[in-house]
Amino acid sequence: MNPVNLKQLAQELNLSVSTVSRALSDSYEISAATKAKVQQLARELGYEPNPYASSLRRQKSKTIGVVIPEVANNFFSLAINGIEEVARENDYHVLIYLTHDDAQQEATIVQHFASGRVDGILASVAGETQDFTHFSKLQERHIPMVFFDRVCEEFATAKITTDDYQSGYQATQHLLEAGCRHIAHLLISDHLSIGQKRLQGHLDALRAHGLTPDPALLLRGTSNKDYNQTLIQELLQRNPAIDGIFASVETLAMSSYLACRHLGRRIPEDVKIISFSNLEIADLLDPPLTTIAQPAYEMGREAARILFKSILKNRPILPAQSQELKSNLIKRKSTATL
Amino acid sequence: MNPVNLKQLAQELNLSVSTVSRALSDSYEISAATKAKVQQLARELGYEPNPYASSLRRQKSKTIGVVIPEVANNFFSLAINGIEEVARENDYHVLIYLTHDDAQQEATIVQHFASGRVDGILASVAGETQDFTHFSKLQERHIPMVFFDRVCEEFATAKITTDDYQSGYQATQHLLEAGCRHIAHLLISDHLSIGQKRLQGHLDALRAHGLTPDPALLLRGTSNKDYNQTLIQELLQRNPAIDGIFASVETLAMSSYLACRHLGRRIPEDVKIISFSNLEIADLLDPPLTTIAQPAYEMGREAARILFKSILKNRPILPAQSQELKSNLIKRKSTATL
DNA sequence: CTGTTAGCGCGTTCAG
DNA sequence: CTGAACGCGCTAACAG
């Protein structure tokens, strides 16, 4: 059975293609009688308009592109949920592209969007990305885009972030108040603004408490989990005084956890750990892990909302539409005391 | 700056549109000289062919649709990673649709695919879905589809699953060998074949060990986490003899964990828990959680591969292409002993 | 209220 | 080797 098209409906009903088209779009210039006839037959035959013909004609794809590093990660999963939901509300479709944190792949993907495949873009940039010309080319083509979480600062468009500086500050303050004096800071990429902001908050908090940041306690992780654990163990051994760890991303918190156990460092008695993380299962960890949860779902929704406001009203996105959402510091007590 | 099209390239070069088109597709009937000229200009102007015009003409969308319940869940995240990767290898695009486990939404989404928006479909059906007519209509239209994980048995197409029966059996055996005699089985939906298979494996394992399954120890969870915890606590209180819990899905394992702690049941001394789960962080849990990890990434890849084999060679998908992948039972020791 | 006509941008005949 | 012409399926301007 072939897909049904307007022509077939028209023939069947002895009407012209355009009449059928208008009847289906419920145009005011069609009589109620023919509308009913047309719509009924369409339903019977299971007519579905060809979206590509329609896109070609209207120069609208009813599709947005989402470009993210990866999806095997609670943060981006939740964000996608939010995005898909808002897209559906607006009767839009969602194309997903994963960069695997590779700048080259990101460039290839983004460049392709110049084809008109999507009406707008939501992006969280790859860790290594330094050169943003692929994005700026799209801006020249007036394709609306919104960055979320991992944004590039130098773009005049909306960016949805969390209060990375503040929560970096808070997290450190939390460790300091718990008595830590030698806090290691673990981050992933040097190039990501979120990492830098969190680090800045961390350093400022230290200074505000009269401590001098020790560069030796700063560790850049890699993309290899096991190797990260080794690096952290070495860090702990080189600096036995370390009594707190601030992990900028979830995976580094996990590696820290394992590193401490491996070295027999008790958590939280010897070393306290705090981390950015959206894992619900953190509730189960004992010793407890204090986490800073980002409102991932809300970020996805908010970014999508701004994008659609632009797409549907055909207006440019202003940097002023940017938002900084509040993250949520979650302290947990050891459940052993229950 | 408007998107560049063939016509503009042709004008600029004093060539016809068709020549330019052929030059760009590297046709053998175009001289090397003009090919070079055309391709260079295309690169300079950042020409990207309009995918919708192309789709319309070739009757191929170069797009697949992925229909899943949700993505905020490690299993589906990993699966998407696999799918996206294979799609990219085949130069295809990936549209994501979430059903939120709602049969009605699933039907709406799937029905829309009759439009030709996608060349093929990968689906994991919604928990409540009982009526599969929306899928069968697509099959009449000869749109290739592959089910993975949550499959519908009654379809003559490929299905990628894990060895649910076997691992259900194994999981139970594991608890029995650890000394459990009163094992609660927690499942989500009555309608999903994976849940039924796991349960069947569970029951058969019990019987094989000379035990009679007790219906009172069977619990159907809801979509509400907190309520599930309450249900589990009540179950544990009604049946103080329970010394093992087999959670069919991750979220029920988490609720069980919390329920036990809340009631002061020690894990694993009083109650042992085993669960299907893909959470890497399970490594950190202490007391340890024995998990059955599904090869989610591989399932995504395998499902996508079969789909593309059909799409690219234009051949129907045979049920014989189905695969049952092996899941992985991961035992962990308490790290407190380190 | 309905039909005719003309393209959206591309790929593929058919001519030369 | 290149160009002209057609049509994929749909929408919209223009007639009547």
pLDDT of amino acid B212: 93
Q: How far apart are CA A201 and CA A329, in angstroms?
A: 14
Interface test with B, best of A115, A224, A232, A250 (most B CBs within 10 A): A115
A133 touches strand D (CB under 7 A): no
Q: Which residues pair with A184 in a beta bridge?
A: A245
According to the per-residue pLDDT averaged within each range, which of A40-44, B128-132, B308-312 is highest? B308-312
pLDDT of amino acid A26: 85
- The answer to whether residue B291 scores a pLDDT higher than 70 is yes
Q: Nearest Cβ partner of A56 from B53, B111, B262?
A: B53
Among the listed residues B270, B221, B282, the one whose alpha carbon sits nearest the alpha carbon of residue B249: B221
Comparing B155 with B327, the larger pLDDT belongs to B327
Q: Nearest Cβ partner of A141 from B1, B71, B97?
A: B1
Residue B216, sorted as left (phi over 0), alpha (psi -120 to 50) or beta, turns out to be: alpha
Residues 287-306 of A with CB under 8 A from B: 297
Q: Could you tell me the end-to-end alpha-carbon distance of chain A, in angstroms, rounded to an integer? A: 64
> Which residue type does A223 have?
S
Q: How far apart are CA A310 and CA A140, in angstroms?
A: 16
Q: How far apart are CA A117 and CA A59, in angstroms?
A: 10
Q: Find, in chain A, the residue whose alpha carbon is nearest to that of B139.
A: A1
Give yes or no for B58 touching A (CB within 8 A): no
pLDDT in tens, chain A (338 residues): 578 999 998 888 899 898 999 999 888 888 888 888 889 999 999 999 999 999 999 999 999 999 999 997 789 999 999 999 999 999 999 999 999 989 999 999 999 999 999 999 999 998 776 788 899 989 888 999 999 999 988 888 999 999 999 999 999 999 999 999 999 999 987 777 888 999 999 999 999 999 999 999 999 998 888 999 999 999 999 999 999 999 998 889 989 988 998 898 988 889 999 999 888 777 788 777 899 999 999 999 999 999 999 999 999 999 999 999 999 998 887 655 44
A292-305 per-position pLDDT tens digit: 999 999 999 999 99
B45 touches strand C (CB under 7 A): no
Strands B290-293 and B328-330: antiparallel
User: What does pTM read for this prediction?
Assistant: 0.93
Q: How far is the CA of B15 from the C1' of D2 (A)?
A: 8
Q: Nearest Cβ partner of B52 from A52, A113, A264?
A: A52
A86-109 per-position pLDDT tens digit: 999 999 999 999 999 899 999 999
Q: How confident is the model at residue B205 (pLDDT cuts 50, 70, 90)?
A: very high
Q: How confident is the model at residue B109 (pLDDT cuts 50, 70, 90)?
A: very high
DSSP label at residue B72: S
- Nucleotide closest to residue A32 (CA–C1'): C1
Q: How far apart are CA A126 and CA A103, in angstroms?
A: 6
Give yes or no for A51 touching B (CB within 8 A): yes
Exposed (0-12), middle (13-18) or buried (19+): which is B111, by Cβ within 10 Å? middle
Compute the radius of gyration of chain B from its Cα atoms: 26
Q: Is the CB of residue A43 less than 8 Å from the CB of residue B106?
A: no
pLDDT of amino acid A312: 94
Q: Is the CB of residue A71 less than 8 Å from the CB of residue B137?
A: no
pLDDT of amino acid B335: 59
pLDDT of amino acid A337: 42
Q: How far is the CA of B119 from the C1' of C11 (A)?
A: 19
- Give the tokens for residue A217: 């306690």
Q: How far apart are CA A64 and CA B86, in angstroms?
A: 21
Q: Do B80 and A96 touch (CB under 8 A)?
A: yes
